[in-house]
Structure 1
Amino acid sequence: MATKEKLKTRAARLREEARETGKVVLRAPVLVRLAECMIRFLLGALLAGAEIFGGYAPFGIGLVGASGSGLDGFCALLGVCFGYLAMEGLAEGLRYVAAAILVFSVAFAFFDVGLYRKSWFMPLAAAAIDGATGFICLSEQGWTPQSLIYFGTELLLCGGAVYFYRIAFTPWTEKREEESLTARQIISLLLVLGSLLLTLSKLTLLGELSVGRFAGAAAVMAVAYKGGVRAGATAGVAVGLGMDLSAGGMPFYAMAYALSGVMAGVFHRQGKLAAALAYVLSNALAVLWTWKDGMHIPLLYEVFAASVVFLLLPEGLLRQVGALVDDAPQQAAQERAMHYVKGRMEDTAAAFKSLYESMRTTLRPIRPNDGDTASVFDRTADRVCKKCALQNACWQRDYVSTYNALNDALPAMLERGRGDGGDFPAYFANRCVRFNEFVSAANEELAALLYRRQYQSRLRENRAAVCRQYGELAQVLGEAAAELGAELIPDKVRERRLRQYLTAQGLECQIAAYYDEAGHLRIELEGAGLSRLRQKESLEKLSRLMNFPLRMGEETRRDKLVLVQGEPLMAVAGVAARQKDGQTVSGDTGAWFKHDDGSLYVLLCDGMGVGRLAQRESALAVRLLEQFLRAGVRPENALRTLSAALALRGEEEIGFSTIDLLRIDLFTGEGDIYKYGAAPSYVKKGSSVSRITGCALPAGLSGGDGGSPDQTHLKLEAGDCVLLVTDGVTSGKGDQWIRDRLAAFEGASPRELAQAILDQSAEQGGGGDDRTALVLRLTRR
């Protein structure tokens, strides 16, 4: 009823237009609709003539059942009725015409019922109606086992035709965002074309040359040339069986077409001419095998003519055929994912090697050291008593009393940190002829002892830091191994869709499409000729094809292209920096980069002091930290590892850096700020500004187990801003002016805001240190 009302509305609109303008203008949508109706009519007329077993023709009924109750179904019904009456004759044709009319009536009656939308309803209804009308008409002739088998096959093909024909028309009858066909749609379209070949096989030229067999041979050659042995054999068997069913005889054509398809597929890499020759010669051999049963000589002429047409087909059309049948074995997405994780582990190893190289030049072998308290007086005796005239009396004859005197003095010396004459017994002080010199030397050795103990404590602490680094390394590799063992989900549908598109473009490459551990789409292409896919227009086409925004990953090889799912958020950054007055370089270093997983990292480090030494320290911290983060190491692990490494370097070269690390997930807006002794950071959400501080020491000073950075979690949205500064911007003074300046920022230019902050800092006397301001503003793509 809805279709009827729609037709009435359109007719009324045309009458009104004719009355107002005096003419009727057919617009483009109307012309397209008329063309679709004409196609349905022609398809119905042709499919009505598609027969199997010499008289069974269910395919026209299948088209009516698949076309529905609207204008498409009515046009298909007219074409089917015309075809059955023209090709089957009045007696046989009336049976199928009646079935087709009943099928259209069922579709019209049940159109508004929910049952009609079930995928099985119309196939079952069409098969039942065909069975009812066929049973009445065929019962007069009597039933034999052969006729029962043929009749049952007709019913199955009638229901199957409704099901698959409806799928074949979905690219035109339904609104689709995808540009390529699914596997089910491709199979259904091939079934429609195969059904048409059954009709065309009855159309002959020059007496015995079948148009359908000629077209089938050309199609098998094209499929075998672009798809190889497997596709050629499959197409040959399918087309050959159709021709045998139409002829109602033995499966000769299935054998001939399948053999020819296999041989053409064998030589498909040698060019079109080689594939065509292989097809023609193998077909001629198949004909010779039927010598005793009467050779199918017309098949030779049909194949020769088909080979000529095949050689003349343009390469663009053959690429489209290849896009439909391409099923070459591709490297599994899971295997590609393992290669991806392997690359991350290799990057991690390279980062640790870089760390080792930076430390190897500063660490020296540890010298033997003595921390025993007894060594204080042993070393003093070597310096003072060795040349004394009373040496034998004190250290041999009266050794016990000397030993007791020194032991009595040692606790007070250790408690005080130095000794004086009153710490020693009177009998020892009165007897020693060089007593003052002895006490002075003992104090020097005691100070050396305390320094050695402090050094050994620091050494033990740093060795513990090395052990913790091994633990961090084990954790990093463990996470990578867990990721390697995780089930990364391949997307076979998009992978096949992309393979069809690239094949149609003449690109042959290995393809893998899968979702990473965060659930984001990742596509890897490897092969020649990928440079044109890096262009903006091609990337936009691929994004529409995949129904996901795509951007290029960090892969730099010319023969490999990595595409990752684009993030809904993007960041605009602005930075301004100025060195300390009187210096030529700044000790501040910053960097920002985006990882393939959609994380944005912003680094800002302030080296100890000013000048080139400070620049070296901050640049080293940024370089190592960036390398760890790019390798996929978690920020907490990377920061602790870096801090411990800088502490080890501090044994020989005192140096440290403050670190600000900002990480933002551009898919969700979730983020974190990590701080090692850095100046406050500021976050603007709406019109409010919050201040983020920390209490951790700078990296390189925070040894021991308390070396974790301060961490603050953020939840950002489009329009929010983050400001990172070094301590020279405020010079230890108040920062209310920074908050006011950030609160008044409307997002016009982050770089102008950073420069304005530095200018105002100079006005407030901030030229005594290096100064850097970095502003980040989130926007939606």
Structure 2
Amino acid sequence: MATKEKLKTRAARAGEEMRSTGRLVLHAPALVRTTECVMRFLLGAVLSGAEIFGGYAPFGLAIVGASGSGLDGFSALLGACFGYLSFQGFTEGLRYVAAAILVFSVSFAFYDIRLYRKVWFMPLVTALLDAVTGFVYLSKKGWFTEDTIFFATELLLAASAVYFFRTAFSPWTQKREGTGLTMKQTVSLLILGGTVLITLSKITILGDTISLGRFAAALAVMVTGYQCGLGAGAAVGVTTGLAMDIAAGGAPFYSMAYGFAGLMTGVFRKQGKLFAALTYVLSNAVAVLWTWSDGLQIAILYEVFIASVLFLLLPERFFRWAGALTVTEPKRDTTSKARAYVKERLDATAEAFRALGESLRTTFAPAGPNDNDAAVVFDRAADRVCRKCALQSSCWQRDYVTTFNALNDALPAMMDRGRGEAADFPAHFSNRCLRFSAFLNAANEELTALLYRRQYKARLQENRSAVCREYGALAEVLGAAAAEFGTELSPDPLREKRLKQHMTALGLEGDAAVFYDAAGRLRIEVEGPRLDGLKTDGELKKLSALMNMPLRQVVKEEGRRADRLVFAQAEPLMAVAGVAARKKDGQTVSGDTGAWFKLDDGSLYVLLCDGMGSGPEASEDSTLAVRLLEQFLRAGVAPETALRTLNSALALRGEERAGFTTIDLLRVDLFTGEAAVYKYGAAPTYVRKGETVSRITGSALPAGLSAGEGGAPDVIALKLEAGDLVLLVSDGVTGGGDDIWLRQALGAFRGDSPKDLACALIDAGDERDVGVDDRTALVLCIGARNE
């Protein structure tokens, strides 16, 4: 096995060194290992003397089981054997010596087996071997009830001590990097120290008046309470006091006295060492007086007094050293640092894209005159035709003003028509020109080239503007994400405590967090196994009552863990949607596409897009627009930013394939009722409030027709309340005619189902014979949520 081979290798190396040099040199690692082995030996010897119940001593076995199979385990075995034989004599100690040898043998034999690494293996082995050897001894005395209980308790303590002793040594044996101890390691060290004190309590001086163990316990409690505060002082006091009570085999007097004294020392520790020492002495004196009827424990006062004198004499660096030992490992909550780091990176990236967009915008700006001037049409035509003409000097020099005026008079008609005709020119010019036909053809060619250049420049400038705007939009999105990362969530400790108590009452285990999001809305997240009990409607009502506000369960999203539940504050408003649609006569699919969805923040979005024309191609355009826009909005992108980005993308897409789509977007905040309508060339939107029906229109072109600076959507803000109706329609519903009948139908509707109204509006189109286009009506009814 690996350990055996390692020991053989080290022994052979040491032997070779002695033969070659005549001496054995201990290097620094060897000295450290020697010190560790000595400590294990001493602990094994001391813990073997820690007796409970008048003769049971399982703690020496526990240190052997916790030390492993190497030199540490062997040293602990030697110490335990020495201690058991010294404290209990040969007859009684032989039982524990045999058990200790068996424990070490099992550890040595199974060291390389995976089973050995299980946390329960050595505790169980130690208890079983203690039971085997103890069974023989106990059988000779007889199985009395009291002895059986004590023996079972010893086995339990032996297994527990192995686990806690190994945990106490883990900061050194595992070579773990860290700045402090975990709570489990701190408790384990207290248990180890308490068992050592049980043995030390047997050592007395001054005629059995003062116990060395109780003196050490009093000093430890005093130092801990002064250095670490009332919590640590009380914990160490109770632990050491319990050890002393076990050693004395009496009532829990020392637990009460030391715990109370440690607590009071921690309370007054900031008043200085002298005041802390006096507080500790007086607290123990009060504890002694409380036991007047049971016999005064005067010895504790001597021990406490001597301990207080030594306490006052100890240097400050000793207290700092003691405080360092009791420092627990801090929680490594790096979430805030990670959020700050990501926010900084997002801010820097957003600024970079913003600067890039501004730089490109400046670069793409027109630098001065270019060849798009209409005057170049005749200049270039003249260069091609008039250069070799006999009348060149007459037309372009002597009669330049006459020629200029003639061409200037013809230019407007040519530009409007896109080509020139002979009738556009004055008769005195066309009759006099010797090469008029060639001049007109050259002028038309140059005019065509000019118009192409203008179209190309316009499209290029439009695309450049779209690119610059996209960089700006990307910077806005990144900036918004950075701001969201920088937002601190506000916890609600009181409600969180209520939730944890409720889960405990239901028998549920898990982590619960109650906090307010960036908008100030309550949010609950629970993680743990078997949370199905919280998903019922009844439990949701109980949680709402417990939190003193209505809650709703957030619908499980794709990728969300099954053992995680999220509840959010319920919105005071709700919406019911109804939709009806009919495709154009003779078409297999409709070019209209609609959608509605709600986000976790209480925002409701309603979308209606109408593709150019009808049929599959129109359906493809509108479906793409709805799908992309929904993805943007679900990702948290602001509606106007999302619409501008989509408009630019559709415009660039239209260079390869002509097509556009209208966009009608309604956003409603179900918490406040604040709403906005965003339009790209869409049909009017109708809002009914009470008996009044208002009509909302816009002037923006459909999405995909303009990617330039003028490609912003129309934005109309409004306020909605319970009982209001909002109607979104495609232009096929009215057929391009008047909409008085539609407003009257909306104002007269008194039904409960929005779908009935939508169907009625579509059916009315059949009566009005407007089946020349796709028709879609989407009705949204705002109502108050039932508590």
Matched, 1:515 2:516: yes
Measure, in 2, the Cα distance between the counterparts of 1:541 and 1:609: 53
User: 1:605-620 alignment to 2 at 5 Å?
Assistant: 605-620=609-624
1:623 aligns with 2:639: no
| 1:490-501 paired onto structure 2 within 5 Å | 490-499=491-500, 501=502
Deviates more, 1:675-684 or 1:549-558: 549-558
Report the counterpart of residue 184 of structure 2 in structure 1. Answer: 229
Q: 1:770 to 1:402 in 2, by over 3 A?
A: farther
How is 1:520-559 mapped onto 2 (pairs within 5 angstroms)? 520-526=521-527, 533-534=534-535, 536-548=537-549, 549-553=551-555, 555-559=557-561
Corresponding residue for residue 719 of structure 1: 723
| Deviation (angstroms), 1:528 | 5.7
- The 3 A distance-change label for structure 1 pair 600 and 236 is farther
Q: Is residue 721–residue 778 contact of structure 1 (8 Å, CA) maintained in 2?
A: yes
Once residues 482 and 632 of structure 1 are traced to their aligned partners in structure 2, the CA distance between those partners, rounded to angstroms, is 12
- Rounded to whole Å, the distance in 1 between the matches of 2:393 and 2:734 is 71
SS in 1 for 2:737: coil
Deviations 1:577-616 (A, max 9, x none): 0011111111111100001110111111111211122212
The answer to whether the 8 A contact 2:406-2:429 is kept is no
Change (3 A) 1:776 1:498: same
Aligned to 2:461: 460
731-740 or 399-408, larger mean C-alpha shift: 399-408
User: How much has 1:339 moved relative to structure 2?
Assistant: 10
1:591 and 2:595 aligned = yes
CA shift digits 1:525-573 (9 cap, x unpaired): 4566556655545544544443431321564324244332221222111
Give the whole-Å Cα distance in 2 for the aligned partners of 1:231 and 1:719. 63
Structure-2 change in CA distance of 1:658 and 1:647 (3 Å): same
Report the CA distance between 1:751 and its aligned residue.
Answer: 1.2
Structure 2 counterpart of 1:709, which letter?
P
Whether the 8 Å CA contact 2:465–2:709 is kept in 1: the answer is no
Give the equivalent residue in structure 2 for 1:668. Answer: 672
Deviates more, 1:654-663 or 1:578-587: 654-663
Counterpart CA distance in 2 for 1:253 and 1:511 is: 45
> Which residue identity does 1:456 align to in structure 2?
K
C-alpha displacement at 1:661, in angstroms?
1.2
Distance 2:527 2:392 in 1: 86
Whether the aligned pair in 1 keeps the contact of 2:465 and 2:707 (CA below 8 Å) is no
In the aligned structure 2, how far is the partner of 1:536 from the partner of 1:294?
Answer: 53
Which residue matches 1:643? 647
**Paired AA for residue 229 in structure 1:** K
RMSD over aligned CA atoms reads 5.7
Structure-2 separation of matches of 1:719 and 1:404: 76
CA pair 589-252 structure 1, distance change in 2 beyond 3 A: farther
Please report how far the alpha carbon of residue 765 of structure 1 lies from its aligned counterpart in structure 2 after TM superposition.
1.3
Amino acid aligned to 1:443: N
- Contact 2:583-2:591 within 8 A present in 1 as well: yes
In the alignment, what sits opposite 1:416?
Answer: 413
Measured against aligned partners, the alpha-carbon deviations of 1:192-215 in whole angstroms (never above 9, x if no partner) come to: xxxxxxxxxxxxx999x99xx99x
> What is the alpha-carbon distance in structure 2 between the residues aligned to residue 395 and residue 526 of structure 1?
95
* Matched residue count: 489
Q: Using the alignment, how far apart are the partners of 1:735 and 1:618 within structure 2?
A: 24
Aligned to 1:570, which of 557, 570, 574? 574
Distance 1:435 1:533 in 2: 91
Quote the residue 1:296 is aligned against.
Answer: 248
Verify the 8 A CA contact 1:675 1:709 in the aligned structure 2: yes
Shift in Å, 1:648: 3.4
Task: Deviation per CA, 1:660-714: give whole Å up to 9, x if none.
Answer: 2111111122222222222222222333333323333322335544443333333
Question: Equivalent residue of 1:701, what SS?
Answer: coil
In structure 2, what is the Cα distance between the partners aligned to 1:691 and 1:498? 48
Residue 729 of structure 1 and its aligned partner are, at CA, apart by 1.0
> Aligned partners of 1:773 and 1:251: how far apart in 2?
88
Aligned-pair distance for 1:508? 5.7
Q: Cα–Cα, structure 1 residues 693 and 397, in superposed 2: closer, same or farther, change >3 Å? A: closer
C-alpha distance 430-692 of structure 1, shift in aligned 2 (>3 A): closer
Matches within 5 A, 1:86-105: none
Letter in 2 for 1:669: G
Q: Percent identity?
A: 55
| Match 2:683 to one of 679, 691, 698 | 679
Change (3 A) 1:677 1:541: same
SS at match of 2:645: helix
Counterpart of 2:659 (choices 655, 658, 662) is 655
- 1:518 counterpart SS class: coil
| Cα distance in structure 1, aligned partners of 2:777 and 2:430 | 68
Judging changes above 3 Å, is the alpha-carbon distance between structure 1 residues 557 and 395 closer, same or farther for their aligned structure 2 residues?
Answer: farther
Shift of the 662–737 alpha-carbon distance from structure 1 to 2, 3 Å rule, reads same
Residues 1:581 and 2:589 are matched in the alignment:
no
Query: For the residues of structure 2 that align with 1:234 and 1:716, how far apart are their CA atoms?
Result: 65
Query: Could you report, residue by residue, the CA deviation over 1:296-338 in whole angstroms, capped at 9, with x for unpaired residues?
Result: 34699xx9xxxxxxxxxxxxxxxxxxxxxxx999897974995
Q: How do 1:426-437 residues align onto structure 2 when only pairs under 5 Å count?
A: 435-437=436-438
Cα 1:738–1:232 change in 2 (3 A) is farther
Q: CA deviation at 1:510?
A: 5.1
CA distance in 1, matches of 2:190, 2:756: 66
Q: Indicate conservation of the 8 Å contact 1:236/1:254, yes or no.
A: no
The one-letter code matched in structure 1 to 2:450 is L
What is the Cα deviation at residue 378 of structure 1?
8.7
AA aligned opposite 1:734 = D
Within 1, Cα distance between the matches of 2:494 and 2:412? Answer: 78
| Structure 2: gaps of 5 or more residues | 1-144, 168-181, 196-210, 222-235, 256-327, 354-369
Asked whether the equivalents of residues 687 and 726 of structure 2 are also in contact (C-alpha less than 8 Å), the reply is: yes
CA distance in 2, matches of 1:634, 1:555: 21
In the alignment, what sits opposite 2:769? 765
* 1:42-81 paired onto structure 2 within 5 Å: none
| Cα deviations by residue, 1:512-537 (Å, 9 ceiling, x for unpaired) | 43211211012334566556655545
Tell me the amino acid that sits aligned with residue 667 of structure 1: F
Counterpart amino acid of residue 461 in structure 1: E
2:671 maps to amino acid: F
SS of 1:295's partner is: helix
Q: Do 1:331 and 1:511's aligned partners in 2 also have CA atoms closer than 8 Å? A: no
TM-score, normalized by length of structure 2? 0.51
Secondary structure of the 1:487 match is coil
> Structure 1's 757 and 374: CA in aligned 2 closer, same or farther, altered over 3 A?
closer
- After TM superposition, list the pairs within 5 Å mapping 1:256-271 onto structure 2: none
User: Which of 600, 606, 613 pairs up with 1:602?
Assistant: 606
Q: Which amino acid aligns with 2:247?
A: M
Which of 688, 696, 699 is 1:692 aligned to? 696
Question: Are 1:662 and 1:671, in contact at CA under 8 Å, matched by a contact in 2?
Answer: yes
1:758 Cα deviation after fit: 0.8
Are 1:740 and 2:737 counterparts? no
> 1:708/1:427 Cα in 2 relative to 1: closer, same or farther (>3 Å)?
closer
SS of corresponding position for 2:247: coil
Are 2:573 and 2:722, in contact at CA under 8 Å, matched by a contact in 1?
yes
Provide, for residues 343-365 of structure 1, a one-character-per-residue CA deviation record: whole Å limited to 9, x for no partner: xx99x99xx9xxxxxxxxxxxxx
Instruction: State how far apart, in whole Å, the 2-side matches of 1:753 and 1:539 are.
Output: 34
Which amino acid is the alignment partner of residue 628 of structure 1? F
Q: CA deviation at 1:471?
A: 2.0
Distance in 1 (CA, whole Å) between partners of 2:682 and 2:242 is 89
1:313 matched to which residue of 2? none
Higher radius of gyration, 1 or 2:
2
- Cα distance in 1, alignment partners of residues 746 and 548 from structure 2: 38
Structure 1 residue identity aligned to 2:600: D
Question: 1:609–1:286: structure 2 CA closer, same or farther, 3 Å change rule?
Answer: same
Give the conservation status (yes or no) of the 8 Å contact 2:493–2:514.
yes
